[in-house]
Amino acid sequence: MPQSVSWKRRLKNFLFIDLKTVAGEASLLSADPRLQRQWEEKIRHFRNEDDLSAAAWYDRRASYYAEFGKIIAVGIGGLYFTDDDQPRLKVKVLANDDEKALLDELLVILNRYPAGELTLCAHNGKEFDFPYLCRRLMANGLPLPHALQISGKKPWEITHQDTLERWQFGDKRHFVPLDLLAAVLDVPTRPLEWQGDRTSEVYYREHDWPRIEQYTQDSVVMLVQVYMRMVGAPLVADEHIVVSE
C-alpha cells in the first residue's frame, strides 16, 4: 500500500486537541468557601516545596486541577489530504469566559463523529487533557461524548494518542513540555509565548483574549507537527495551515 494512502487512513477521524485552563476564580478568596477549605487541605501535600501562602499556591497551581480550575480555550486541529497527497491542517480555537458554553460548542464538534471512530491526540493527554475535559464536562452537568467515555477501560482499549507517552517510552516519571520536545525534534514552529501556569495571570490580570487565542493556536500547530515528526510523516507546510473562525 502506498505510504500516502496509509497515512490518509490512519488520520481519518483524528483530532488534535489542546486545553487552556485557569484557576476557577480570580483569587482563592473569591472561591466557594467549601473549595477554599478543600484547597487548604490539598496544598499540604506540596506546600513544603516553597514558602508560599495558600492564596499564592492557588494562583500558581489551581489551573492544574479540574476541581479548582476551568477551561477557557480549546484548540482543535484536523488533518486532511488533497490530490497532491500533501497534508493540510485546519485549526479552530474555541474561547469563552463561559465554560459551559465553550464545552457545549466543543461537544457539537466531537459528536459529529460516529461512535467509536474518533481518535483524539494531545500532549500529556492521557494524564491531563482527556481526564480534565471529562471532569469539567461532568462538573457542568454535560454528557460525555462517546470518544471520552474512557472511565474503567483498559489502557489498550483506549485508542487516543499522546505525544508525551510516545516520548516517555515507558518511563512515566519523565515529563517533557511540548515546546522542548519540538526543539529536540527540530520541528520548525513558532515558539510558545509562555508556559501553562501563566495562563491564569494573562486571563485574570490582563484579560488578553488575542494573546490567549494565539497561544492556543500555536500550541495545536506545534502538537500536530511534533506528532507528524514522531511517526515519520511529512510536516504540514505553513501555507497549508488554515485557521477557521
Q: What's the CATH number where 145 sits?
A: 3.30.420.10
Instruction: Establish if 58 belongs to a structural domain.
Output: no
Q: CB within 8 A of 83, min separation 6: which ones?
A: none
In Å, how far from its chain's centre is CA 65? Answer: 13
Helix and strand numbers, DSSP H then E, in the chain: 9, 6
Q: What is the pLDDT of residue 47?
A: 59
- Flag whether 48 is in a domain: no
Mean pLDDT value of segment 158-172: 90
Examine residue 33 and state whether it is found in any structural domain, yes or no.
no
**Across 200-214, average pLDDT:** 93
Establish if 87 belongs to a structural domain. Answer: yes
The Cα–Cα gap between 213 and 52 comes to 30
The answer, yes or no, to whether residue 239 has pLDDT greater than 70, is yes
Q: What is the pLDDT of residue 1?
A: 39
Per-residue pLDDT tens digits for 56-102: 889 989 999 999 999 999 999 999 887 777 889 999 999 999 999 99
Residue 130, pLDDT above cutoff 90: yes
Q: Is the pLDDT of residue 127 over 50?
A: yes
- The predicted pLDDT at position 49 comes to 56
- Give the pairing type, strands 69-81 and 161-162: unpaired
What confidence category does residue 2 fall into, taking pLDDT thresholds of 50, 70 and 90?
very low
Nearest to 40, CA basis, from 58, 14, 22, 23:
58
Maximal C-alpha separation, the chain? 61
Residue in the block written with cell 483530532: 15
On the question of pLDDT at 9 being above 70, the answer is: no
On whether the CB atoms of residues 202 and 73 are closer than 8 A, the answer is: no
Q: In 3D, which of 168, 151, 150 has the Cα closest to residue 159?
A: 150
d(CA 31, CA 70): 12
The parent domain of residue 167 ranges over 3-24+68-244
Domain assignment present for 62: no
Q: Is residue 47 part of a domain?
A: no
SS (H, E, C) 159-211: CCEEHHHHHHCCCCCCCCCHHHHHHHCCCCCCCCCCCHHHHHHHHHHHCCHHH
pTM over 0.75: yes
Residue 15 lies in a domain: yes
Distance CA 51, CA 38 (A): 19
**Torsion angle (degrees, nearest 10) of CA 234, 236, 240, 245:** 140
Total count of domains within the chain:
1
Q: Is there a domain that residue 50 lies in? A: no
Q: Is the pLDDT of residue 39 over 90?
A: yes
Whether the predicted pLDDT of 163 surpasses 70 = yes
DSSP 175: -
